[in-house]
Chain A
Amino acid sequence: KQEVTQIPAALSVPEGENLVLNCSFTDSAIYNLQWFRQDPGKGLTSLLLIQSSQREQTSGRLNASLDKSSGRSTLYIAASQPGDSATYLCAVNSNSGYALNFGKGTSLLVTP
C-alpha cells in the first residue's frame, strides 16, 4: 500500500522567507501527485498537479517538483506571506487504484 510522508509536520517562518515542504512516497508507480492547501476546518484547495511524466509545475510563488524514481516531491514557496499560513497536503494517485493517498500534512505558520 502506498505510504505518503510529509516532513516537517509543522513549520514556523518569518514573513518573506523562501521555504520548502517535503513529501515522500513508497511506491513510484504513480499517475500524478497533487498538492493541496487546507485552512483550519475548511476544504481542500488544489494548488498544483504534477503528472508522472513531469518534473515540475509552477503557479505564481509556488513551485512543485517531482522525482518519481526516488519517491519525492517538494513544494517551494517563495517570499512567504502571512496569508500562506495553512496546512499543506500532498496526495499521490497510484497506478494501483483511483484513491488518493494523502500525507498527514505540514502545518505552516508565517509570522509578520
Chain B
Amino acid sequence: EAQVTQNPRYLITVTGKKLTVTCSQNMNHEYMSWYRQDPGLGLRQIYYSMNVEVTDKGDVPEGYKVSRKEKRNFPLILESPSPNQTSLYFCASRPYRTGGDTEAFFGQGTRLTVV
C-alpha cells in the first residue's frame, strides 16, 4: 500500500530536549516536505526536499532541521524544542515532474507537545 508513515504519532517532551520525528514514504517520490498545523493559522510549510541531499527552507523553518540522506526518509529534527513548537506536524511526499502537476500524499500526523 502506498503510504507516508510518520513516527511517533504523539509525543510530549520538555523544553530543550532534542527530538526527531521520522517520515518515510514507499512511493519513490522525489519531493518531500514538512508542515505544521496550528489553530487559526492553517498548514504552513517548514522545510522541503527536492531529492536526496537537496533541502530548503519553507515559510517557518526557525527551530527546525531536516536531512535527506535516503530518498524514502525525511526526518524532522528539533534540536532544542520550545513550547511554541507545540503543534500538529505533517510529512508529505509527491513525485517530481516538470510542470509540478502531481498529487501530494500526507502522513497521519504527529501531535507534539512541548512543556
Q: Output the least CB separation between B105 and chain A (Å).
A: 7
Q: Output the least CB separation between A40 and chain B (Å).
A: 11
Q: Which of A5-58 contact B (CB under 8 A)?
A: 31-32, 34, 36, 41-46, 49, 51-52
Q: Count the B residues whose beta carbon is within 8 Å of the partner chain — how many?
A: 28
> Which bracket fits the contact residues of A?
20 to 34
The answer, among B42, B103, B108, for a CB contact under 8 Å with A43, is B108
Q: Output the least CB separation between A93 and chain B (Å).
A: 6
Tell me which of B15-23, B43-51, B69-77 binds A. B43-51
Q: Output the least CB separation between A101 and chain B (Å).
A: 9
Residue of A nearest to B109 (CB): A43
Q: Can you name 13 extra interface pairs (CB under 8 A) apart from A91-B104, A102-B42, A104-B41?
A: A31-B99, A34-B104, A41-B111, A43-B106, A43-B107, A44-B109, A49-B103, A93-B100, A93-B101, A95-B100, A100-B43, A100-B45, A104-B40
